[in-house]
């Protein structure tokens, strides 16, 4: 395989890491536990104790350099972890802290404060998130919801992921000198939970009223850092969606092998076999575009924005279809609160509009490959 060809396979090290993460999630994050957490107050949904255990395995700092406290791996390994977190609908701040915030911070000049924060994120001592609406897609204009003053920020950002329990917010803001990226202690902001379809991934409105801030990047550096974070986020989110789809297919197959009707397992009926086979093919295709996107982001390829857009445009629909098919093929029990499939359907539905809709990403693909506009 030449260096220019994407490697879509999993390495032995990735498979070992997968086994470790899956074992921990099976023990600490069964669906009964997730369901129990979403029935409580929104502030208690995120499992920070589980996150610290994952961080102790190196999960939080996989793509971060070893000298900054990370594991010195790449986004490929992080993508594989995202698959497992999606498979468990784990309520941990992986997307906000280990992907969006970490990616933005490692794209700026690392002064002592940034290095300290990145090290803490990698080791799970603190969590952070990028203060943009979760609907923000790669390729969007630089967020201008927050105004920068004299070392202060003012503005309101709706729908921020993983902000409710974060220690630090990485805030894009526009000031007299143009775009900038700033660090704000979360305790200096007013954070209000907002209703989210996916109860396992809380969203928060963040209000800053003259909040003290530390500038860490400005101008093109800040714009590039936010764009890098959004591209990495889109690529890693597609991996999580793949995990959701694989769980839905596996669980449905197991159910149809056990459930009988007219003296036969439901899975023996041809009509259901065809639907499952179609789903298996779609998931296999999804795995290829997810691995391609992870590899492109990991290598810093100029094709990373295109690969991430392609992954989001395709995998979003696959995850939603897989979850919907799981609900349908589980029959009546699939529509109950007591069965976990609704957690996966809500995760798939909400993820399909996070970091850009599939239509938005298809438009982005057309832009990136210079397709002429439709007549």
The 10s digit of each residue's pLDDT in 83-125 is 999 999 999 999 999 999 999 999 997 789 999 999 999 999 9
Share of the chain above pLDDT 90, in %: 91
Is it true that domain 12-126 has CATH number 1.20.140.10? Answer: no
Q: What is the mean pLDDT of the chain?
A: 95
Share of the chain above pLDDT 70, in %: 99
Mean pLDDT of 65-75: 92
Domain 130-219 -> CATH class: mainly beta
Confidence of residue 1 (pLDDT cuts 50, 70, 90): low
pLDDT digits (tens, 9 = 90+) for 193-252: 998 999 999 999 999 999 999 999 999 999 999 999 999 999 999 999 999 999 999 999
In CATH, which of 3.60.15.10, 1.20.140.10, 3.90.1310.10, 3.40.50.2300 is domain 223-369?
1.20.140.10
Lowest mean pLDDT among 100-114, 170-184, 299-313: 100-114
The lowest-confidence range among 110-119, 157-166, 336-345 is 110-119
| Residue 148: pLDDT over 60 | yes
pLDDT of amino acid 97: 97
Contacts of 245 (CB under 8 A, 6+ apart): 279, 282, 283, 286, 315, 318, 319, 321, 322, 323, 348
Q: If pLDDT is split at 50, 70 and 90, which confidence band does 42 have? A: low
Q: Output the pLDDT for position 331.
A: 93
Could you tell me the residue ranges of all domains in the chain?
A: 12-126, 130-219, 223-369
Q: Is the pLDDT of residue 70 over 90?
A: yes
pLDDT band at 3 (very low <50, low <70, confident <90, very high): low
Q: Is the pLDDT of residue 129 over 80?
A: yes
pLDDT at 373: 74
Reply yes or no on whether the pLDDT at 67 is more than 60.
yes
pTM of the predicted protein model: 0.95
Q: What is the pLDDT of residue 2?
A: 54
Length of the chain: 375
**Tokens 């889109």 sit at which residue?**
234
Residues 129/96, Cβ–Cβ less than 8 Å: yes
Q: Is the predicted pLDDT of residue 189 greater than 70, yes or no?
A: yes
Q: In this predicted structure, what is the pLDDT of residue 4? A: 63
Average of per-residue pLDDT across 62-76: 93
Could you give the angle at which helices 304-329 and 358-368 cross, rounded to 10 degrees? 150
pLDDT at residue 152 greater than cutoff 70: yes
- Return the pLDDT at 5: 72
For residue 183, pLDDT over 80 is answered with: yes
pLDDT at 6: 78
Closest CA to 17 of 85, 64, 93: 85
Which residues, listed in sequence order, are joined to residue 184 by a DSSP beta bridge? 169
> Could you report the per-residue pLDDT of 5-32, keeping only the tens digit for each?
778 889 999 999 999 999 999 999 999 9
pLDDT, average across residues 76-88 = 97
Going by C-beta distance under 8 Å and a sequence separation of 6 or more, which residues neighbour residue 292?
6, 8, 307, 310, 311
Residues facing residue 55 across a β-bridge: none
- Whether the pLDDT of residue 128 is over 90: the answer is yes
Lowest mean pLDDT among 67-76, 274-283, 299-308: 67-76
Q: Given this chain, do its domains 12-126 and 130-219 carry the same CATH topology?
A: no
What mean pLDDT comes out for the span 314-327? 98
């Amino acid at each position: 395989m030449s260096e220019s060809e994407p490697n879509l396979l999993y390495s032995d090290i990735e498979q070992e890491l997968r086994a470790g993460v899956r074992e921990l999630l099976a023990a600490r994050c069964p669906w009964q536990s997730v369901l129990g957490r979403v029935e409580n107050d929104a502030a208690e949904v995120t499992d920070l104790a589980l996150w610290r255990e994952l961080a102790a395995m190196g999960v939080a700092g996989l793509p971060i350099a070893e000298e900054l406290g990370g594991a010195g791996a790449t986004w490929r390994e992080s993508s594989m972890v995202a698959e497992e977190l999606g498979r468990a609908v784990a309520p941990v701040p992986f997307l906000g802290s280990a992907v969006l915030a970490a990616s933005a911070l490692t794209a700026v000049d690392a002064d002592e404060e940034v290095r300290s924060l990145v090290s803490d994120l990698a080791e799970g001592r603190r969590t952070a998130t990028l203060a943009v609406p979760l609907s923000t897609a790669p390729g969007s204009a630089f967020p201008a919801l927050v105004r920068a003053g004299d070392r202060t920020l003012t503005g309101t950002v709706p729908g921020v992921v993983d902000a409710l329990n974060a220690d630090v917010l990485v805030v894009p803001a526009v000031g007299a000198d143009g775009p900038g990226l700033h660090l704000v202690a979360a305790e200096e902001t007013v954070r209000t939970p907002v209703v989210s379809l996916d109860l396992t991934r809380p969203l928060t409105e963040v209000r800053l009223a003259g909040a003290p801030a530390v500038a860490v990047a400005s101008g093109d550096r800040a714009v590039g850092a936010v764009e890098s974070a959004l591209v990495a986020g889109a690529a890693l989110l597609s991996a999580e969606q793949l995990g959701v789809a694989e769980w839905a297919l596996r669980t449905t197959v197991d159910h149809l092998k056990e459930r009988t009707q007219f003296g036969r397992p439901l899975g023996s009926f041809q009509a259901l076999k065809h639907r499952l086979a179609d789903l298996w093919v779609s998931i296999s295709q999804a795995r290829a575009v997810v691995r391609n996107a992870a590899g492109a982001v990991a290598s810093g390829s100029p094709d990373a924005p295109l690969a991430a857009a392609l992954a989001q445009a395709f995998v979003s629909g696959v995850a939603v279809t897989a979850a919907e098919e799981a609900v349908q093929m589980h029959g009546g029990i699939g529509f109950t609160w007591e069965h976990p499939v609704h957690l996966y359907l809500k995760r798939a539905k909400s993820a399909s509009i996070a970091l850009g809709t599939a239509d938005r990403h298809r438009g982005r693909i057309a832009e990136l490959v210079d397709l002429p506009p439709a007549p």
